[in-house]
Amino acid sequence: MSADLIPNKAFFDTYNEAVLILSDKQQLIYINPAFTYLTGFGLQHPFEMEALAELLKPGAFEADGLFKNRAFISFSKKDGALLKAKVSESDITLADQSKGKFYTINLLPGLDVLAKGEKKFYELADASPALIFLQDENEQAFYFNKAWLTYTGKTLQQQQNLLWKSLIHPDDVRVLEELAPTAAKRKSYSFEFRLKKFDGAYRNIFAISTPVILEDGSFAGYMSSGLDITEVKEAQNQISQLNHALKQSTEELDQFTYVTSHDLQEPLRMITGYIQLIQKNIERGNLASINEFMAFVIDGASRMQMLIGDLLQLSRVTRKTVPFAPVNINDIIHVALTHVSKAVTASKAEIAYENLPTVNGDTYQLVSLFENLLDNALKFNTLQTVPKIVISASEKDDKYIFQIKDNGIGIDNKFHKRIFAIFQRLHTQAEFEGTGIGLAVCKKIVERHGGEIWVESEPGKGSSFYFSIKK
Ligand code: ADP
């Protein structure tokens, strides 16, 4: 046992970390001055040194599990105070070519303080389901717990320093950059980012970072822990979507109730008015005009019937739904035309369409959509012109855009939005019969198919109704 065996002894003698060297027979052969300074013990204290060598026996380092070449030991200093230390083990070839072991005991003040609870911390962190990592004061990550490594499918070496950032979604790197000023102030912060899981999918992580402040008040880095909140986020999104839909449908319902009661009263008023007249005339024995008055009653009743029928059609759009299936629009138009055949024959209308695409949708509703638009294109025409209707389709991004173009009376720009609301009509019954529900039905159907409906038109120049449908 001799100090002559120690290579680079002069270097170790001046090294400011505690260094121990054990021979291949597990005997302590060197202790540097830094070690003596830290513990008060030197080689002249064989009893204590034997106890220490015992702590460093093979196996201690494997047992740590986290770092193969690191272990945590505690032993008493000469003044009796308990010393906890982090020991790193390396191989060393001694001057006689035998193999020894070389240990450094971390004397850094920060680690010395951290060491008090460090092993417990790593045990706890590894048992935690949260994704935990530690960064030093220079932002270099040096520890990731088991949950993180399992989650990402990476090894510690593949994550250390700044490597872990390569798993962050490129769009979220900015999130971390924006936190830099807060981090520079050594404050706690929370953040959300997408992290690539071992299966390659990005998941949402919510994380909290807290600064590690040592007992002497100095800053030693950040400790961060995160949780996968993807499911929570999805549920939240769903709830807010549902809330939005609920709000919209409540508003629609309010408007609907208001206009329905208002518009249904109109024919009812007519019916009651004429019935009162008929009653008075019967009382007076004047039966001459009764037939004429009855005609108004019947007219009012059939108008009421028409309104209720159209309202039912509107409510069916959301109530009676069938799963979407591929439907060819040429076939849809073919069916819709049979429903408006009377008006087509009467007006001798020319209707052109060909090579229209197949979309995913509700057959019944798509027929109803085209039927309403064709019905209007045939109806809102002067008697002098033969209606000419062209149906075509184009593609834009992930949507098909359909166009139903007519040569009818056209619509003033200021009514282009309003006509899609329920009961909004621009004409009297005498001019053009209708309930003002048709386009509201069209709008609902198109929206159910993930699209929009709009019109381009000028008075006297015909109208083009457009709607989009998701491919
Ligand atoms: P209705 O046809 O029963 O009046 P709609 O909701 O279908 O109700 O249409 C609302 C209004 O929009 C119509 O009253 C009409 O003024 C206008 N309109 C709809 N389609 C056309 C069209 N092709 N040409 C001109 N005006 C139209």
**Amino acid identity at 166:** S
Residues with CB under 6 A from ligand 1: 372, 376-377, 380, 406, 408-409, 411, 419, 424-427, 434-440, 463
Contact 407, 385 (CB under 8 A): yes
Looking at residue 112, its pLDDT comes to 39
* CATH architecture observed for domain 3-107: 2-Layer Sandwich (3.30)
Is residue 175 within a helix (H) or strand (E), and if so which, with residue range?
A: helix 173-184
Contact 42, 31 (CB under 8 A): yes
Domain spans in the chain, listed from the N-terminal domain onward: 3-107, 116-228, 234-320, 322-471
User: Per residue in 393-420, pLDDT tens?
Assistant: 999 999 999 999 999 999 999 999 999 9
User: Per residue in 29-74, pLDDT tens?
Assistant: 999 998 888 888 888 887 778 777 777 776 666 544 445 566 666 6
Residue among 274, 269, 262 nearest 311 (CA): 262
- Residues 121-148 have a mean pLDDT of 87
Q: For residue 167, count CB atoms less than 10 angstroms from its CB and return exposed for 0-12, middle for 13-18, buried for 19 or more.
A: buried
For ligand 1, pick from 368, 412, 419 the residue to mutate: most ligand atoms within 8 Å of CB: 419
Domains 3-107 and 322-471 share a fold: no
**CATH ID of 322-471, from 3.40.50.740, 3.10.20.30, 3.40.630.40, 3.30.565.10:** 3.30.565.10
* CATH architecture observed for domain 234-320: Orthogonal Bundle (1.10)
Q: How confident is residue 118, by pLDDT bands cut at 50, 70 and 90?
A: low
Ligand 1 atom showing the smallest separation from residue 404 Cα: 23
Ligand 1 atom showing the smallest separation from residue 462 Cα: 24
pTM of the model: 0.55
Taking only Cα atoms into account, the Rg of the chain, rounded to an integer number of angstroms, comes to 42
User: Per residue in 173-215, pLDDT tens?
Assistant: 988 889 888 888 888 999 999 999 999 999 999 999 999 887 7
- CATH 1.10.10.10 for domain 116-228, yes or no, is no
